[in-house]
Structure 1
Amino acid sequence: MVDPTSDLGEDIDEADAPTCANCGDPIVQSPTHRVVTWVEDGRVQHRHFCSDDCRDAFAE
């Protein structure tokens, strides 16, 4: 897994890239990439989304 704070557009292979939590597409060099972060039980959690539309459509 790639560090979510890294520059994801730099030298990231598609196999190592994060995937969108909604559609499952790998996120490589995407200017619309969004990361949602929250704290749960004292641990930082996060989800990657390829776009605002996928973030808005995501249902837990």
Structure 2
Amino acid sequence: MVDPTSDLGEDVDEADAPECEHCGAKIVQSPTHRVVTWVEGGAVESTHFCSAECRDAYDQ
């Protein structure tokens, strides 16, 4: 599998692409793609958003 967090989602097949945590849209070659990462229980966790707007709406 190609890393779905690669720059702009290059070379990511839609079947392997991450989904926006807020709206569920597949994120493929999206320059507005946002990834939020944190450490929980000693492991790195992350979640993906298709835009800054979805990222902001998720926090509310």
Structure 1 segments, 4+ long, off by >6 Å, are: none
CA shift for structure 1 position 6: 2.6
Query: In structure 2, do the counterparts of structure 1 residues 45 and 55 end up closer, same or farther at CA, with 3 Å as the change threshold?
Result: same
- Give the length in aligned residue pairs: 60
CA shift for structure 1 position 7: 3.4
Aligned: 1:20 with 2:43? no
Structure 2 stretches of 5 or more lacking a match? Answer: none
**C-alpha RMSD of matched pairs (Å):** 2.1
Structure 1 stretches of 5 or more lacking a match? Answer: none
Counting aligned pairs with the same residue, the percent is 73
- TM-score, normalised relative to structure 2: 0.83
Query: In structure 2, do the counterparts of structure 1 residues 2 and 58 end up closer, same or farther at CA, with 3 Å as the change threshold?
Result: farther
- Which protein has the bigger helix share? 2
- TM-score, normalised relative to structure 1: 0.83
